[in-house]
Amino acid sequence: MIIFRKRVVFSVVALLVILSYFGYKNREYVQQLPIGCAFKAKTLCDDVFVSGRDPQTIEREDLGFSPLFKIFKAKIDRDDKSVTCSFLGLGLFKKKAVFVGQLGCILLSGVPEEMIRAWRPAIPLPEPANAKAVPWPMGDRLPQCQPPANIDMAKLNSAIDHIFIGKKLKERLYTRALLIIYDGQLIAERYGPDITKDTPLLSWSLAKSVTNAVVGILKMKGKLNLYEPVPIPEWQKAGDPRQAITLDQLLRMSSGLEWFEAYAERPVSDVNIMLFLKPDMAAFAAAKGLANQPGNIWHYSSGATNLIWLTVVKKKIVFPPLFSKDTVSYCSRA
């Protein structure tokens, strides 16, 4: 037992020495380690506790795009409703994500865990008492109707097959879900294995489209002016050129703010640092200086979306439903 412990200690010390040398020579590679641990902890937590999916499937389909994720060992604690991940399972670069009800999973990053677990959504998510009796999209009821006459459903279904299977029968693209809405009518709907219409899924950048849609609804209701400067507190000092940035420019990703957005090809990027290492994502994005004159250059930025939500939340606007029975038509599922 003593010899075994000595070997373990020696192995850990040797590993730390190697990592120190490796980190000095290749700093960016070492910076990827906490990002990788955080990504795996957050992804597993959401997919297991929010979507109810199988961990082995998640490892293969959601984390299999890079073999490097095998060096990050995760522990799923179903009683605690959390996922902890570290480098080689040694506790190095450890990151933890916890499930917090309707808020989904939250990655711990500088905020005490007990405080995060006490959080509640500012606007409780509506749950229909009898979803089957409530018309889609707020519920599940879909009246019988025929697809539009100008839609070739055979061609559409063939295209959907390719989206789920690929051009070869043995090829799988791991598509989760697909809904096609034409002229307000649901004309096609399909889900991957173990996924149903009731499975909550990570939206990723789909949230950008939802954000723009919500802002558009608020604009129509006269609650927002897209062309006024956004009231970001960090930009209010006298002479700060960022005071000129408008909500419209943030929506169009032409704010001129410095931002580097890359993922697997360059993991140490502004977007990954913001999403996986910072306790206040909007503050991280707001701290960026100007790289270009606002309104001149389009530059993809997830930071801009967080700033939009910060602006909307600061105004304390209650979001209206995205759909109503007067604006959407329905069609039964095949």
- The SS3 assignment for 284 reads helix
Q: How many CB atoms lie within 10 A of CB 331?
A: 21
Rounded to an integer, what distance in angstroms lies between the CA atom of residue 14 and that of residue 219? 60
In the structure encoding, which two tokens stand for residue 191, read together? 């889900």
In the structure encoding, which two tokens stand for residue 304, read together? 């801009």
pLDDT by residue (tens digit) across 175-224? 999 999 888 888 899 999 899 988 999 888 998 998 898 899 889 988 88
**What values do phi and psi take at 180, rounded to 5?**
-115, 120
Mean pLDDT of the chain: 84
The pLDDT, as a whole number, for residue 24 is: 44
Mean pLDDT of the region 98-119? 92
Contacts of 188 (CB under 8 A, 6+ apart): 153, 156, 157, 160, 178, 179, 180
User: Could you tell me the residue ranges of all domains in the chain?
Assistant: 2-117, 131-191, 225-314
* Helix residue spans in 152-205 (DSSP H): 153-165
Per the DSSP assignment, residues forming a β-bridge with 191 are 177
How buried is residue 107: exposed, middle or buried, by Cβ count under 10 Å (0-12/13-18/19+)? Answer: buried
Question: Widest CA span of the chain, in angstroms?
Answer: 78
Mean pLDDT of the region 10-27? 56
The secondary structure of residue 60, as a DSSP letter, is H
pLDDT by residue (tens digit) across 276-318? 999 889 999 999 999 999 999 999 999 999 999 877 755 544 4
84 vs 25, 107, 171, 282, 305, CA distance in Å?
28, 10, 32, 25, 28
Given a cut of 80, is residue 15 above it in pLDDT? no
Of 253, 260, 259, which Cα lies nearest the Cα of 294? Answer: 253
Mean pLDDT of the region 126-153? 82
Q: How many CB atoms lie within 10 A of CB 59?
A: 17
- The SS3 assignment for 94 reads strand
The pLDDT, as a whole number, for residue 42 is: 96
Mean pLDDT of the region 98-117? 92
Q: Specify the DSSP element, H or E, that contains 105.
A: strand 105-107
The secondary structure of residue 86, as a DSSP letter, is E
The pLDDT, as a whole number, for residue 148 is: 86
* Helix residue spans in the chain (DSSP H): 2-25, 27-45, 55-61, 113-117, 153-165, 206-220, 247-251, 270-277, 281-286, 302-314
- The SS3 assignment for 82 reads strand
The pLDDT, as a whole number, for residue 155 is: 94
In the structure encoding, which two tokens stand for residue 137, read together? 């999209």
264 versus 170: the higher-pLDDT residue is 264
The secondary structure of residue 200, as a DSSP letter, is -
**pTM for the structure as a whole:** 0.80
Given a cut of 50, is residue 326 above it in pLDDT? no
Rounded to an integer, what distance in angstroms lies between the CA atom of residue 85 and that of residue 80? 14
